[in-house]
Structure 1
Amino acid sequence: MEFCDECGSMMKTEDDTWVCGSCGYEKSRNAEAEREMAVTTEGQEESEIVDTSEVDAADMGPTTGARCPECGNDRAFYEMKQIRAADESETRFFTCTECEHKWREDDH
């Protein structure tokens, strides 16, 4: 990703040139520098499933007003985890305070 030296907007590539869509500023691409700034997922670990079936309700943590899709209860324990790339939002995991149904909600 490259940002415009003139206005700070994000630039796009057109062949061997970076072009600013806001002000039209252009600059040449540098393949070696771009290779160094590339982001990969190599070496990242998969998230593991956490079993909370034997955890007491008092140890589950905070609750929020979320409606359970199974029983309709309006309270759930919640936990936020970063399971995707760091530049994406966290995922909210819920556990119903009544039936202990588990679900997750992603911010998109």
Structure 2
Amino acid sequence: MRLYCPLCGNILVVEDGQESFQFACSTCPYVHNMSKLSSRTYPKMKEVDDVLGGKAAWENVDSTEEPCPKCHHPRAYFMQMQTRSADEPMTTFYKCCNAECSHRWKE
């Protein structure tokens, strides 16, 4: 819920008042006291798909001699994907071959 200042039209912000919370304007002296704060609702987060295809994308990839920056294992799986425009080079994604680490990074 957004409330706007009736004097200047700016968005009112919630402040901790003397006895309760209050809506206050940050540019003019307008203040609107709230009687009580009943509940808070948070927006539902959007579900995001794994851009690289999840676990299935890493099943049939090759490995190379690239040390892991986290555990320093000497080999890593890699795959290349075009993430930017066609005139830019491909992005190389790495995943550590150490099953305990499985750190992911890109170049």
TM-score (norm 2): 0.46
TM-score (norm 1): 0.46
Higher Rg of the two aligned structures: 2
**Between Structure 1 and Structure 2, which shows a larger proportion of helix residues?**
1
